[in-house]
Amino acid sequence: MVEFFLALLLWLSVFVPSSMLASITAKRNPQRAGSVMQVSMLLISTAAIWLMGGPGKFGLFQGWSFVFPAFLLGFGVSLVLNLSQRDAGVPEFLPEGIGRFALLLLLAPLGEEVFNRGLVEGYLLSHGHLWSAILFSAFLFALPHWMAVEGSKGERAYTVLGAFVIGSLAGYFFALGGLVPAFILHSSANFAGLTVLKLRKTPRYK
């Protein structure tokens, strides 16, 4: 239990200052807030990982063996989750054009995977935990998604549940192969979300 309490403290030590920076940015430019938060999480998490023993201790880099199944599973599961959810519109923190793709396909998967999987799950894995580490990091990953979407409590709960599923899958692939397959799964899941968002704008869908 001590390791999970310390893992929670690690999570808070990154999430709280990143959220504060994003909140300050949102008052001036809401569409930059997401990028500021992801960059903050990436930098603080990376610094913490190096201070606590380096990427090797946290299992960040193990190989490329699981990239293809991670891509397929991330895209497929996210596609089902997004199609079964009512259209909630576009959150105000998402930028337009190429910035949206850069944020959702590159920056967010990298920042959130280094943070949730690399730092939190990696810390717990280094102390001999496996499934509990995967599920705990997925739970912490899913929680902020409650605030990331607008809608009823039921719609927000569904979003959190979907994020927990994706986080659990990413955590499993992180335990198997490190950061790369976890990043690929997360990015492909976001790509599926963008695909559904684009599909819902077409006249045929409406």
Residue 65: band (very low, low, confident or very high) from pLDDT cuts 50, 70, 90? confident
7's tokens: 């893992």
User: Cβ contacts of residue 50 below 8 Å, gap of 6+?
Assistant: none
User: Of 20 and 92, which is predicted with more confidence?
Assistant: 20
* Per-residue pLDDT at 95: 74
Task: Give yes or no for residue 126 having a pLDDT over 90.
Answer: yes
User: Of 202 and 15, which is predicted with more confidence?
Assistant: 15
* Per-residue pLDDT at 89: 60
User: Cβ contacts of residue 70 below 8 Å, gap of 6+?
Assistant: 169, 173, 177, 181, 182, 184, 185, 188
Global pTM value: 0.92
Residue 142: band (very low, low, confident or very high) from pLDDT cuts 50, 70, 90? very high
Task: Give yes or no for residue 137 having a pLDDT over 90.
Answer: yes
Q: What is the 3-state secondary structure (H, E, C) of 91-137?
A: CCCCCCCHHHHHHHHHHHHHHHHHHHHHHHHHHHHCCCCCHHHHHHH
* Per-residue pLDDT at 87: 66
- Range 108-118 average pLDDT: 97
Average per-residue pLDDT for the chain:
91
* Per-residue pLDDT at 97: 80
Choose among 16, 22, 158, 25: nearest CA to 86.
158
Name the percent of the chain lying above pLDDT 90.
68
Task: Give yes or no for residue 141 having a pLDDT over 70.
Answer: yes
Task: Give yes or no for residue 156 having a pLDDT over 90.
Answer: no
- Range 90-114 average pLDDT: 86
By three-state DSSP, how is residue 34 classified?
helix
Choose among 95, 121, 123, 103: nearest CA to 174.
121
- Range 150-176 average pLDDT: 91
Choose among 84, 17, 21: nearest CA to 48.
17
Q: How far apart are CA 69 and CA 19, in angstroms?
A: 32
Q: How far apart are CA 135 and CA 167, in angstroms?
A: 8
